[in-house]
């Protein structure tokens, strides 16, 4: 089968949708399918994987729901996309965030293949969908199949575009993470309590509340350290470093971007993983990654995280934007090795249900179902 995976976001700039597409592509190609990823990209052509078709290098950063989306608004993609689709003749076109400007909309305009859209995002309301509903309706109508990665994402999009949505979750590389659970990084094997934050420093990730909570943890565990890893820029890191220096908070390490192959070792190096997001999370990939390594979690009690985690089972959930609740939960886990071990094992069992092979298999089954309904002949 010849498959197009389409993303509106700068690829392979770190992000949940990017990782989702990359892993679907890997699984499909391992199974013998031909895959092309259509994306805008600020990366040099010679650094991109062979399967990536760079549609545009003009990428703009657009604020959206406490995050920053890196998308292309270039009018030049219109003719380029039309040419790519005519040349490649895909059997199926799978668009991620299919109603985001501009690439998915242009692909939907020109695609004559069966089109499937995956909706990833969750927020309390969506101004773009509300204001642009009538404009977007013809594009939505071109979707032959619709996937939502969680009940939260499905409920949000169906408020504006009611229809049938297949629920297929995000996945993780469970096998790799689980196998590396006993391979912590050497510089963290000193027995000190270690709290890990792994993610961007967008407002919605809530890192500031973890930073406020950390001095309270230090009062109980003076040797504790906070490791801050993720795809953030120096500019995004700067205000937090200033806060650390001004308030003389010790033991905070900003390690920055972590290559994918090193992420399991960072999880393996921590005592507790913390995800203090304030909202707008449709799922909990980082929670599942930490679970796969057998680590207990302290996370905000938000809709997307409740998709994969239950308070008191894989970890502790607290109200968002509450540094005192964060500190209490972190201290409780750091103070109780037996509780950490029990929650870590429960998390490992939970994460096993979200392996990429299982998720990709569900997506492939849905492709075939949609193609059969359209009467397309299936090959491969």
Q: Report pTM.
A: 0.79
Closest CA to 118 of 9, 259, 275: 9
- Is residue 200 within 8 A of residue 236, CB to CB? The reply is yes
Beta bridge partners, 92, equal 3
- Is residue 10 within 8 A of residue 42, CB to CB? The reply is yes
Q: Which pLDDT score is estimated for 379?
A: 56
Q: Which pLDDT score is estimated for 279?
A: 86
- Is residue 196 within 8 A of residue 227, CB to CB? The reply is yes
Peptide linkage before 65 cis (omega within 30 of 0): no
pLDDT tens column, 30-58:
999 999 999 999 999 899 999 999 999 99
Q: Which pLDDT score is estimated for 124?
A: 57
Q: Which pLDDT score is estimated for 111?
A: 97
- 66 Cβ contact partners less than 8 Å away, ≥ 6 residues apart: 202, 203, 204, 278, 279, 280
Closest CA to 36 of 73, 81, 71: 81
Q: What is the pLDDT along the chain (380 residues), one digit of tens a residue?
A: 999 999 999 999 988 899 999 999 999 999 999 999 999 999 998 999 999 999 999 999 987 655 678 999 999 999 999 999 999 999 999 999 999 999 999 999 999 999 999 999 877 557 778 788 999 999 999 999 999 999 989 998 999 999 999 999 999 999 999 999 999 999 999 999 999 999 999 999 999 999 999 999 999 999 999 999 998 999 999 999 999 999 999 999 999 999 989 999 999 999 999 999 998 887 889 999 999 999 999 999 998 899 899 999 999 999 999 999 999 999 999 999 999 999 999 999 999 999 999 999 999 999 999 999 988 665 55
Question: Which domains are seen in the chain, by residue range?
Answer: 2-171+355-374 (3.40.50.2000), 174-354 (3.40.50.2000)
Q: How far apart are the first and last CA of the chain?
A: 5
Within 10 angstroms of residue 376's Cβ, the number of other Cβ atoms is 16
286: Cα separation from own chain's centroid: 8
Helix (H) or strand (E) holding 252: strand 252-256
Q: Which pLDDT score is estimated for 125?
A: 53
Q: Is 122 strand, coil or helix? A: coil
Q: Which pLDDT score is estimated for 121?
A: 84
Torsion-angle region of 68 (φ positive above 0: left; ψ -120 to 50: alpha; else: beta): beta
Q: Which pLDDT score is estimated for 7?
A: 97
């Amino acid at each position: 089968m010849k498959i197009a995976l389409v993303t509106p976001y700068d690829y392979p700039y770190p992000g949940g949708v990017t990782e989702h597409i990359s892993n679907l592509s890997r699984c499909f190609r391992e199974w013998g399918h031909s895959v092309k990823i259509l994306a805008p990209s600020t990366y040099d052509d010679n650094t991109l994987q062979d399967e990536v078709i760079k549609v545009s290098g003009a990428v703009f950063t657009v604020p959206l729901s406490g995050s920053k989306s890196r998308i292309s608004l270039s009018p030049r993609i219109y003719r380029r996309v039309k040419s790519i689709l005519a040349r490649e003749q895909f059997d199926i076109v799978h668009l991620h965030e299919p109603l985001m400007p501009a690439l998915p909309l242009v692909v939907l305009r020109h695609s004559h293949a069966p089109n499937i859209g995956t909706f990833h995002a969750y927020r309390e309301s969506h101004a773009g969908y509300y204001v642009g509903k009538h404009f977007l309706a013809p594009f939505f109508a071109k979707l032959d199949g619709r996937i939502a990665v969680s009940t939260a994402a499905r409920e949000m999009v169906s408020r504006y575009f009611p229809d049938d949505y297949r629920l297929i979750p995000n996945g993780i590389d469970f096998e790799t993470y689980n196998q590396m659970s006993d391979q912590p990084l050497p510089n963290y094997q000193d027995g000190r309590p270690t709290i890990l934050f792994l993610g961007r420093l967008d407002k919605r990730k809530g890192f500031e509340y973890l930073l406020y909570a950390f001095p309270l943890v230090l009062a109980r565990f003076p040797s504790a350290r906070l490791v801050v890893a993720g795809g953030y820029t120096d500019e995004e890191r700067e205000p937090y470093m200033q806060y650390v220096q001004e308030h003389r908070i010790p033991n905070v390490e900003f390690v920055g971007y972590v290559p994918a192959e090193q992420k399991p070792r960072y999880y393996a190096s921590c005592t507790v993983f913390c995800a203090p997001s304030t909202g707008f999370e449709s799922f909990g990939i980082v929670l599942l990654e930490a679970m796969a390594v057998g680590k207990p979690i302290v996370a905000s009690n938000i809709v997307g995280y409740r998709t994969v985690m239950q308070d008191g089972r894989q970890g502790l959930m607290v109200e968002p934007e509450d540094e005192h609740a964060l500190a209490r939960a972190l201290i409780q886990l750091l103070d109780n090795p037996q509780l950490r071990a029990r929650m870590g094992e429960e998390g490992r069992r939970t994460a096993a249900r979200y392996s990429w092979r299982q998720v990709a298999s569900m997506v492939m089954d849905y492709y075939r179902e949609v193609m059969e309904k359209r009467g397309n002949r299936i090959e491969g």
